[in-house]
Amino acid sequence: MTSLVRLDGVTFAYDPARPVLDRVDFTLAAGERVALNGPNGIGKTTLLHLMVGLVLPQAGCIHAFGRERRCEKDFVEVRARAGLLFQDADDQLFCPTVAEDVAFGPLNLGKSKAEARRIVHATLESLGLAGLEERVTHTLSGGQRRLVSLAAVLAMAPEVLLLDEPTNALDEPTRARLLEILGDLPQAMVIVSHDRDVIERLATRTVRLEAGGRLS
């Protein structure tokens, strides 16, 4: 079994007085879709942020794509290969228009403008968002923002998807479509979700995060 992302005894605290994660072990293997749940404020979002190096652990180590990753520089490559969908879509959309936002990742990866345009077009099309291309991001509805930020992540063609409550704030048809889309994607995923359907229809394995440790 080849592991894509592996956390070994990772300990993390924002504030030393209140540790969030205490010696957590977690492995994501190729082809897996792991549902991660647990009570609010237990550290699920933090766990995803650790995987792409947005916060660095105080102890333990993080292996990603066959190498140990320690510092900001190591994680630059990880972020290109593991796409993180933020819990709050508003944080993720910072470019003036939808097209620019979706193109931001591909352009950073060194794609040409023409290529980026093609990717934007194809990605939005596949999510059924073709009409939104030239819209100004902050005028989108909550659900539209969610889907556009997913498009922004998918446009980078990551090998791993880290989705933080992807079905939040979506109406029933949109949610069903998103589940369908996610079900068709080949990538390995970690999905933070309290949504029963997500767990039943998508997940190959469920992990529950509890105070300090973790159990399947």
Partner 1 sequence: MSLPGAPCAGSSILGEGGGVRPPSLVERLDSRTRVILALLFAVALVTGSDVTLLTVGLGLALILALLARLPVVRTLRRMLVLEGFMLVVLALLPFSIPGRVVAEVLGFAASAEGLTRAAQITLKANAITVAVFALLGTLEVVALGRALARLGAPERLVHLFLFTVRYLDVLDREYRRLRLAMRARAFRPATGPHCWCSIGYLFGMLMVRSLERAERIDAAMRCRGFTGRFPCLHEEAESGPGALDWGVGAASTAAVTLLLVMG
Ligand X SMILES: Nc1ncnc2c1ncn2[C@@H]1O[C@H](COP(=O)(O)OP(=O)(O)OP(=O)(O)O)[C@@H](O)[C@H]1O
Q: Where does this chain bind partner 1 (CB under 8 A)? A: 49, 52, 54, 76, 79-80, 83-84, 86, 88, 90-92, 94, 96-97, 99-100, 103-105, 107-109, 113, 116-117, 120-121, 133-136, 138-139, 152-153, 156
| Residues contacting 178, CB < 8 A, separation 6+ | 147, 150, 166, 167, 170
Instruction: Give the nearer residue to partner 1 in terms of CB position, either 103 or 127.
Output: 103
* Residue 138, contacted partner among partner 1, Mg ion, ligand X, none, CB below 5-8 A by kind: partner 1
Nearer to partner 1, 93 or 179 (CB): 93
From residue 92, how far is each of 38, 67, 89, 188 by CA, in Å? 24, 27, 5, 21
Contact criterion met (CB below 8 Å) for 37 and 206: yes
| 45 touches Mg ion by CB under 5 A | yes
Task: Spell out where the chain has E strands.
Answer: 3-12, 21-29, 33-37, 59-64, 67-69, 82-85, 160-164, 188-192, 205-209, 214-215
Picked from Mg ion, partner 1, ligand X, none, the partner binding residue 118 (CB below 5 to 8 A depending on kind) is: none
Out of 43, 57, 106, 166, name the contact with ligand X by CB under 6 A. Answer: 43
Angle at CA of residue 26, ends 65 and 28, nearest 5°: 45
- Residue 46 near ligand X by CB under 6 A: yes
Select from 5, 7, 28, 42 the one that contacts ligand X (CB under 6 A). 42
Answer for the pair 124, 130: CB distance below 8 angstroms, yes or no: yes
Contact positions vs ligand X (CB under 6 A)? 14-15, 20, 40-46, 87
